[in-house]
Amino acid sequence: MHNLYIPVVAILVVAAIIFGGQAISDSQVDDDIKALISQQLGSDREIELQSMKEVQKGYGVCGLYQTGERSQHASPFYYSKVNERVTLDAESERYRRHCEG
């Protein structure tokens, strides 16, 4: 019976490493997006990300952002993981191509 414990423990450890690494990676992407939005806006205010979804088979992220002002409506953004660029203009070709539809 004890021979069964080793594979089960090994599977659990591997699963924890994979899913833990994914959670850390997602958090780093969120931080990168927030930093790029702040840089483009030229603001030091806190950025809140909302309604994020992966597009382009995981190579991009579409969503909404809002600055620290609660009265301001959320604005759309597109982030490319490939070249680490964020697009804030919903009328731009990049946003429409990847986030609409």
Q: One digit per residue, pLDDT tens: the chain, 101 residues?
A: 567 777 777 777 776 666 655 544 556 888 888 998 898 888 888 888 988 888 988 889 999 999 876 667 888 999 998 888 999 888 888 889 988 86
**What is the side-by-side order of every strand in the sheet holding 75-80?**
48-55, 60-66, 75-80, 85-87
Task: State the pTM of this model.
Answer: 0.69
* Strand residues in the chain grouped as ranges (E): 48-55, 60-66, 75-80, 85-87
CA distance 36 to 83: 12
Contact 81, 98 (CB under 8 A): no
Ordered structural domains, the chain, with CATH? 2-99 (3.10.450)
Contact 95, 72 (CB under 8 A): no
Dmax (CA) for the chain in angstroms is 63
